[in-house]
Structure 1
Amino acid sequence: MKNLKNLLFVALFFTSAMVLGQTKVSGTVVDETGEPLPSASVVEKGTSNGTSADFNGVFTLTTESDSGTIVVSFVGYKSIEVSFSSSKTKLGNITLAEDGNLLEEVVVVGKGVIDLAGGRKTPVAVSTIKAAEIQKKIGTQDVTMTLVNTPSVYVAGQAGGYGDSRMAVRGFEQDNTAYLLNGQPINGMEDGKMYWSNWSGINDIASAIQIQRGLGASKLAISSVGGTTNFVTKTTDKRKGGYFYGGVANDSYFKSTLFYSTGKSEKGFGTSVMFSHWQGEGYNEGTKGQGQTYFISFGYTPNETHNFNFLITGAPQWHDQNFSKNISTYLQYGRKYNNNWGTYQGEYLTERRNFYHKPVMNLNWDFKISDDTNLSTVLYGSWGRGGGTGGRGRRERTADGYIDYSAIYNKNAKATDGLGINFGNDTYITRASMNLHSWYGVVSNLETKINDNLVFNVGLDLRTYYGEHFRVVEDFHGLTSWKENIRLRDQNNNHQTYGSFGTHKQVTTTRSMQANPWDALFADFEQKDKIAYSNDERISYGGIFAQLEYATEDFSTFFQGSLSQQRHQRFDYYQYADQTLIDGTSTQATGALPAGIEDGVTSEKISNVGYNAKGGIGYNVNENSKVFANAGFYSRQPYHDNIFPAFNNQINPFSENEKILSLEAGYTYSSSNFRSNVNLYRTSWKNRVTNSSNFVGGLIQNTLGFGVEQLHQGIEIDFSTRLLNDQLRLKGFTSIGDWQYKGSAISRVQDEDQNIISETPVDVDGGKVGDAAQFTLGLGLDYNFTQDFSADIDWRYYNGLYADVGPVKTNLELPSYDIVDIGASYRLKIGEDNKSLNFRLNMNNAFNEVYLSDLRTNIVAGDTNADGTDWNGIDTANQGYFGLGRTWNFSVRYRF
């Protein structure tokens, strides 16, 4: 009994000693916006004793000593050390700062197909903008504006209206930069272009945007000449909660957003939903707009092996447009002048409205086959419906240039039986040029770790696309019907003469459709209701890709290759006199209309094979310095619109694969509070087909250049540092480019109806590439006055900006300019469970700089078309856009 008491006493003594020697340390891990970081790692320094934060970022760690240090870390953020003692065990909020350009932490699904720079050890030139920065600074701007504070990025076209901006990377326009949404390619299949109005809600649903300039890290069989931009959307949040957002801005802009996530249940299910609405009058006259965004994400994680996420999103919108005009016109009527609108009986009407609805669905599946092998797959589909409006017939204008709808209605009222005829009886309608498509695809990537140093990837990229293009009546303006006489072509694509059956046709329609994205989604038109043109195309694409990367602690190298085949075929239902195929065979004509009208004329099938090959090396010089060099060669198939540039079934004899050779090298220096990158690049691009347009004499003239070579080379520098105990963040960038056309080209000018006006050879050697500033410089300051109050300022300078006129020998340089944006943020905490009210005020172009953002003509003093007067050295006969003046926006976000 005595021995038992002694044993119990000893046990009690050691237990008491252990308990007395233990300390419970607690706190909450958050990011710089105050958002919790679920599953953040908390480890007692020098030991293996650690824990993870819960969904609200809260942790409790029991230590074996009454004082010491814990190390707090989270993927993509800088780790920090925090001291504790027996008198300081409640550490409160522990804020982690973003670590450079890392992005891994925001990717919940699809890691294998969302090619982020952090997923490959061999570096690339990259910049990342995360959700907090997007939400803070985007305001009422297009999502492209989130990237303006990065090297070699230029954004223009904002003055056209909501969603009409364009973005160039290293001097390459949008059709030559790859854009991906959760691994899904979203560049237009026909022309490679991006229409940002179709993606107006992407700033609401993005977790992050990463732009990889140049060759990039993408493994897909795509040619990212300028770079690759990855939009990583929210998936199913692990944390339960949400937010409500309300924002106002200049020109009667208003936006509201509601987001909520159920969080992941114990059985692995979760749902996130978001809805938003916006509307505004537009900065320029006649540029009203309105739209919505919806986003629904269902996640399911049945076990550690599988992870699924289904997403559907869309951004139906309409916005009225402003086109480029002579500088003299702006000087006469004001820089906000837009002549595409007018009034009728006190009601606002517009001739130019873009309307579109593009629902997107995708299903991501991550399959952990083993500890060393993973399969990621995304199945996707999108259905685009909408178009753009314009005038057709005899337009009337007021003395100050606006559309005179009263005069139009009066003339239309005089038409016999309410029948309008295209340029036949002084009548007028608003037409809608429709662009419909159905797009389906799959991207899959298998990654296997061969050993500790060697990783192999192989995958496929399959797509099928069917597009429809036609015109219909949008508004009769008092007429009851509309008739057109259409010139038809023979089997050799030549226009036939008027006067006999089969050489022309007449279309009379009584149907119209309102320019509304929801109406367009469900509208269905018969061939007899289509005017001006009607043609479809089918594009099929198949690609395979593979990558092998070898990496040690200090050295990495990779090789990547892809092979793809693209098929094109065009179907014309409108402009051919019979159904004779281009290859000389015939099909049976049917229907009461002239042969070929109902069933269409089919082009021959065009098939092109392309390939990519790129490789590189990276080396860690020391713990602070890294260097890399990459090289790539692309043989890229021409776009559909370059194969059929005359808008008929005639195949462009100049359409051959474009040849791209790209070289780049970089150096990165990073320390505990400073990071800098230096990148060099040289890209040679041959066999190009270029396209530019002007609004001349009331018509849009399209200029195409064939066989063009471009040479782009330059240097990029960026840095960021934290000072004053991390209260002050200083960042900056510069890019110096030399972008030129080489050799000669063939220039073809067409009007709005695709009729060829002229075709001539031109010498373009040494001509400057336009539409993007070749020299940029930027500085930014972010200062945290307190944990909850901060202010920021960004300054950007642009020089070496030339007119967007395609390949020319001598181009017109625009005046240089600089922009200052300022903002302030304040967070008001509510309760103790991370609820808060977040206030944000932005003022863009704070000093109201007056500048030309882009020009569409190249008129110099002494030219036939010159005015003889100038604005800052630019002849006022030139057409283009002034940039936006001072704008502002204010928002409140309630997080719960």
Structure 2
Amino acid sequence: MKKMKNWLLTGLFFMIVSTVFSQGKVTGTITDGTGSLPGANVVIKGSTTATSTDFDGKFTLNSTTGTGEIVISFLGYQNQTVKFTVANGATANLGTIVLVANSNELSEIVVKSSIIDVAKDRKTPVAVSTIKAAEIQQKLGTQEFPEILRNTPSVYVTKSGGGFGDARINIRGFNQNNIAVMINGMPVNDMENGSVYWSNWAGLSDVTSAMQVQRGLGASKLATPSVGGTINIVTKSSDMKEGGSFSSGFGNARNFKVQGSYNTGKLANGLSASVLLSQTMGDGYVQGTPFVGSNYFIALGYTTKNDKHDFQLTVTGAPQWHNQRSTASTIATYQKYGTLDDPNIRYNADAGYLNGEEYNIRKNYYHKPVASFNWDYKINETTKLSSVLYASMGRGAGASATGGVGGNVYNSNVFLNADGSVNYDKIQAWNNGTGSVFFDGANQTRTQIGGVYQNGFSTGRTGAGTTADPYKYNTTSGITQTSSINSHDWFGALINLNKKLSQTLTLDFGIDARTYTGYHFTVVNDRLGGDEFYDNSVASLKPAGRHLTETYATNVQWNVFDNRDYEKISFNSTGKVRWYGVFTQLEYSKDNLSAFVQGAISQQGFKREDDFVYLPTDPLASTDYENILGGNVKGGANYNISEKSNVYVNAGYYSRQPFFNSVYPNNRSTVNPNLTNEKIIGFEAGYGFRSRYFNGTVNVYNTTWNDRYLKGNALPASTTIAANTTYTEYLGLNEVHSGIEFEGSSNITDKFKVFGMFSYGIWEYKGDATVNAYYQTDNTPVPGFTGTPVYMDKVKVGDAAQLTASLGGSYEVLTRVTVDASYNFNDKLYAGLSPTNFSSPDNKGALELPSYGLLDAGLSYKMLVGKDKDKSVNFRFNLNNVLDKTYIAESRTNIFANDNLPVSAGQTPGSKGTYASNGMLYDGVANVNQVFFGFGRTWNFSLRYDF
């Protein structure tokens, strides 16, 4: 009996042990429905047992229990919980588990709205690169938002002057005025000039779920200005999964950022909400460029129980102010305040000190919130209606300087300290009559007008000068900080009906309507010690003019509904643009073939109001609308040769209306008699390859841009033409941009991944153009200056590298600990051009700048936390320009090393030698060129908690 009892106890003990310490295995494969998801996190709920999927998306877990749940998470996808049961010593294969993309993936939003024209892999026949939120969150750091695209083929990004949000981007050699930027399907390029100011969109990096760069004519159905390409940004939506995040980051130049967000997820009643707030600030890498920027994002959503209706209300804005570096100094100036071999690339000729504090007369301050209301209506299984109403009310300005002292502007040598900073105290002392300035061969003291120190527009130089009297200065003028206000009210609507005609054909038809009012005037910010500002710009108040004492602070206007009443100076005009368009697209898809044909037509109307230049009784004080018709047609096809290979072709033609300042040149209300639409013809072909080990695309393109409009500078002063009384206009400028692009990535192992790209462009002007000259006062032709040729044929297009390449990789050195690096190379970079450089048929063409390469690196660690390991703490460190490379990012001038130095009157041309012979070179470039250097080594660190 005792032995039997012992056997029972022993048996019971082994049963307990075998139950507690069972070694059953749980296996499975994680995919997104189209391919495996390597690196997905898999954890047994309520335990610390976790693993990551391998390159094929497979995982194996050892379970100590017979039943349980696994939680699968992958950035960009919704977490998924799967139950399992496994016998002792056995293996339970859960099969293929498909994760559903959240708003970090484009496909979810595409299903909801047919307004957002997102290119689909192996289906949409365009050259495209997609950057997801995970990469933006990790690698952007303190860089500008467009810089995340640096390793994309044919994309060239620079920081321009280096102020917060002042970056600019080129695609295939076209500047961002000719690149369509879309946010959730809405066009955001300025309706007057096509500009995009990234400082107004600095908060996009916080709220972007994915971004596509569609090079070439792109997939948008609208008549957009996508000569070079389309940047399609998709922001977060309200019905993201429940959760949120808190993050904080800091970097060089006292850069600091804090952010918080929360999403309710879709509630049982169909409601959802999402909110994000962030704040960033810093001193700026460039001298005298501190900044403060905020960002808010609020989204509210409602989905009906039958999923027929989905409503989304989104409001986002990024109010900011930042000091700028607007002056492109010569290379010699950077060397002067550094060394010959190590120029001071942070030097800012606009920055200085006033009353013991840092002061910069150049400042940008703006607030441009955007609100949109989206309604997606699933009428039936074959018909879907997508609509969006949007509004944007921008308020803000760019501050600069007007006036001068004896012909000297605020950053002339007479106002510079020994370190090159602007002595604003000296300007203030001159303005208030307590100080003197050395010019005209002696120290001069300011004189009053009517008993006061009067500032105005005069620089204090009263003429061009003669041999007997080379100066012709007066001592009555002063220097003032003024702001050019460029506010606007913008309203629009997009409606798209998507109808599946059959199993193979889908038809889209839509309406695009926009209205825009731009308010343009100047105000006084700081007289810098002067008593009053004299303005004589208002036609109805001449000749007496006005004596003004009101000033306006350069503060961000948070309340955009407040149309403030300002005392305006210099100019005051209102530009109105009306846009009415329709578009349609027919898409065919069957088996391995997909194709589309698309067309759009739009009418733009331009109206100008001006009560400064014109009397109220003058018909030109308020013009009629000048209506211009334009549009596009394009089509393409993609064929999937196999499961791995596909080929595509596309072609298109654009007839694009000119911008507002082309319709009404020189801020006058007389319609340009030479108006013509710009014509763009594009062709593209490509090949794609997809496999478990390698993904790659290669494509070739050719874009012809004819009848490009360009306004030029004034004619030189002469005996018959006064200085600054004319402007020039270049007609018949034609460009051809062609090239080849490659982009690829490979998972060498489940932990080691590499990527790379290469692009080579041939971007040249085609044929010669002509220049006409007009008087500024009434836009009438200047006699003798009509049809003058400029010799542009075969001249390289400047301002963007025509050869770019990058190579990078990442390696998971420990579980969820990853290091990454990339090297970006830029060559065939030419200076920015003005056609005035090409008045002679034997001109030297475009100045080629030195090539350069940049190495960036980073370290990431993701720590799973929480009871179910479904939350995480993320660490990220970025080091940009690791090797601290000094490089010229852009040049405003086109002066060659073998050009002769200028000579004085009576001297023989070339008698002073060349810049090269005088040793006036830096890295082979004449040091009199006005340039912006890129940033040196920078770093940032961020910590984010996702819950």
When normalised by structure 1's length, the TM-score is 0.85
Aligned match of 1:559: 597
Asked whether the 8 Å contact 2:709–2:733 carries over to 1, the reply is: yes
Aligned match of 1:88: none
Q: 1:294 to 1:34 in 2, by over 3 A?
A: farther
Residue of 486, 491, 498 corresponding to 1:447: 498
Asked whether the 8 Å contact 1:735–1:776 carries over to 2, the reply is: yes
**How much does 1:107 deviate?**
1.9
Aligned match of 1:357: 367
Aligned match of 1:512: 551
Asked whether the 8 Å contact 2:28–2:93 carries over to 1, the reply is: no
More off after superposition, 400-409 vs 417-426: 417-426
Partner amino acid, structure 2, of 1:883 = G
Q: Distance in 2 between matches of 1:837 and 1:524?
A: 45
Aligned match of 2:908: none
Q: Distance in 1 between matches of 2:751 and 2:574?
A: 57
CA deviations 1:391-437 (Å, max 9, x no partner) are: 12224513444332222222332353464343372322210110010
Aligned match of 1:373: 383
Is the counterpart of residue 766 in structure 1 residue 794 in structure 2? Answer: yes
Equivalent residues in 2 for 1:285-364, closer than 5 Å: 285-303=287-305, 304-322=307-325, 323-333=327-337, 334-364=344-374
**How much does 1:819 deviate?**
0.7
Is the counterpart of residue 550 in structure 1 residue 588 in structure 2? Answer: yes
Is the counterpart of residue 652 in structure 1 residue 672 in structure 2? Answer: yes
Q: 1:284 to 1:74 in 2, by over 3 A?
A: same
Q: Distance in 2 between matches of 1:57 and 1:329?
A: 60
Asked whether the 8 Å contact 1:109–1:364 carries over to 2, the reply is: no
Aligned match of 1:594: none
Equivalent residues in 2 for 1:169-180, closer than 5 Å: 169-180=171-182
Asked whether the 8 Å contact 2:41–2:72 carries over to 1, the reply is: no
Q: 1:308 to 1:532 in 2, by over 3 A?
A: same
Aligned match of 1:221: 223
For the residue of structure 1 that corresponds to 2:815, the secondary structure is coil
Equivalent residues in 2 for 1:794-833, closer than 5 Å: 794-807=822-835, 809=838, 810-831=845-866, 832-833=868-869
Partner amino acid, structure 1, of 2:173 = G
Q: 1:699 to 1:845 in 2, by over 3 A?
A: farther
Aligned match of 1:60: 83
**How much does 1:62 deviate?**
7.2
For the residue of structure 1 that corresponds to 2:143, the secondary structure is coil
Asked whether the 8 Å contact 1:306–1:368 carries over to 2, the reply is: yes
**How much does 1:256 deviate?**
0.6
Q: Distance in 1 between matches of 2:708 and 2:885?
A: 36
Equivalent residues in 2 for 1:108-187, closer than 5 Å: 111-118=113-120, 121-187=123-189
Equivalent residues in 2 for 1:460-499, closer than 5 Å: 460-486=511-537
Aligned match of 2:245: 243
CA deviations 1:105-138 (Å, max 9, x no partner) are: 4527752111000299342100000000001110
Asked whether the 8 Å contact 1:814–1:852 carries over to 2, the reply is: yes
**How much does 1:56 deviate?**
3.5
Q: Distance in 1 between matches of 2:136 and 2:725?
A: 35
**How much does 1:539 deviate?**
0.1
Q: Distance in 2 between matches of 1:306 and 1:519?
A: 33
Partner amino acid, structure 1, of 2:427 = I
Aligned match of 1:86: none
**How much does 1:834 deviate?**
1.9
Asked whether the 8 Å contact 1:692–1:804 carries over to 2, the reply is: no
Residue of 383, 392, 398 corresponding to 2:416: 398
For the residue of structure 2 that corresponds to 1:629, the secondary structure is strand
Aligned match of 1:260: 262
Asked whether the 8 Å contact 1:106–1:207 carries over to 2, the reply is: no
Equivalent residues in 2 for 1:701-720, closer than 5 Å: 705-720=730-745
**How much does 1:754 deviate?**
13
CA deviations 1:425-451 (Å, max 9, x no partner) are: 232221011001000001111111111
More off after superposition, 712-721 vs 223-232: 223-232
**How much does 1:619 deviate?**
1.1
Q: Distance in 2 between matches of 1:701 and 1:336?
A: 36
Residue of 623, 628, 638 corresponding to 1:603: 623
CA deviations 1:294-347 (Å, max 9, x no partner) are: 000111112210111100000001111112111110111122111212212211
Q: Distance in 1 between matches of 2:558 and 2:579?
A: 30
Aligned match of 1:70: 95
Identity of aligned residues (%): 39
Partner amino acid, structure 1, of 2:741 = E
Aligned match of 1:862: 899
**How much does 1:289 deviate?**
1.0
**How much does 1:746 deviate?**
3.7
> Which segments of 5 or more consecutive residues in structure 1 lack a partner in the other structure?
1-21, 45-49, 78-97, 489-500, 583-600
Q: Distance in 2 between matches of 1:159 and 1:386?
A: 19
Greater Rg over alpha carbons, structure: 2
> Which segments of 5 or more consecutive residues in structure 2 lack a partner in the other structure?
1-23, 44-52, 60-68, 338-343, 434-447, 461-475, 718-722, 839-844, 903-913
Equivalent residues in 2 for 1:693-772, closer than 5 Å: 705-724=730-749, 726-747=750-771, 760-772=788-800
Asked whether the 8 Å contact 2:261–2:275 carries over to 1, the reply is: yes
Is the counterpart of residue 662 in structure 1 residue 662 in structure 2? Answer: no
**How much does 1:224 deviate?**
1.3
Asked whether the 8 Å contact 1:259–1:273 carries over to 2, the reply is: yes
**How much does 1:262 deviate?**
1.5
Q: Distance in 1 between matches of 2:129 and 2:398?
A: 34
Q: 1:539 to 1:580 in 2, by over 3 A?
A: same
How large is the Cα RMSD of the aligned pairs? 3.4
Is the counterpart of residue 672 in structure 1 residue 710 in structure 2? Answer: no
Equivalent residues in 2 for 1:10-89, closer than 5 Å: 56-60=79-83, 67-68=92-93, 70-74=95-99
Q: 1:133 to 1:700 in 2, by over 3 A?
A: farther
Partner amino acid, structure 2, of 1:511 = E
Q: Distance in 2 between matches of 1:693 and 1:733?
A: 39
Q: Distance in 1 between matches of 2:494 and 2:671?
A: 30
Q: Distance in 2 between matches of 1:672 and 1:293?
A: 40
More off after superposition, 625-634 vs 756-765: 756-765
Q: Distance in 2 between matches of 1:487 and 1:438?
A: 25
Partner amino acid, structure 2, of 1:558 = F
Residue of 871, 874, 879 corresponding to 1:838: 874
CA deviations 1:191-238 (Å, max 9, x no partner) are: 101110100110000001101111211111224111111110011143
Asked whether the 8 Å contact 2:456–2:480 carries over to 1, the reply is: no
**How much does 1:826 deviate?**
0.8
Q: Distance in 2 between matches of 1:515 and 1:32?
A: 51
Residue of 571, 577, 583 corresponding to 1:533: 571
Aligned match of 1:593: none
Partner amino acid, structure 2, of 1:208 = A
For the residue of structure 2 that corresponds to 1:203, the secondary structure is helix
Partner amino acid, structure 1, of 2:330 = N
Residue of 926, 931, 940 corresponding to 1:880: 931
Asked whether the 8 Å contact 1:219–1:545 carries over to 2, the reply is: yes
Count of residue correspondences: 811
Residue of 393, 401, 407 corresponding to 2:426: 407
CA deviations 1:837-896 (Å, max 9, x no partner) are: 111011111101111000011112324557551111111111010111111111111112
**How much does 1:67 deviate?**
4.3
For the residue of structure 2 that corresponds to 1:136, the secondary structure is helix
Asked whether the 8 Å contact 2:80–2:99 carries over to 1, the reply is: no
Q: Distance in 2 between matches of 1:825 and 1:513?
A: 46
Q: Distance in 1 between matches of 2:212 and 2:310?
A: 23
**How much does 1:274 deviate?**
0.6
Q: Distance in 1 between matches of 2:939 and 2:877?
A: 7
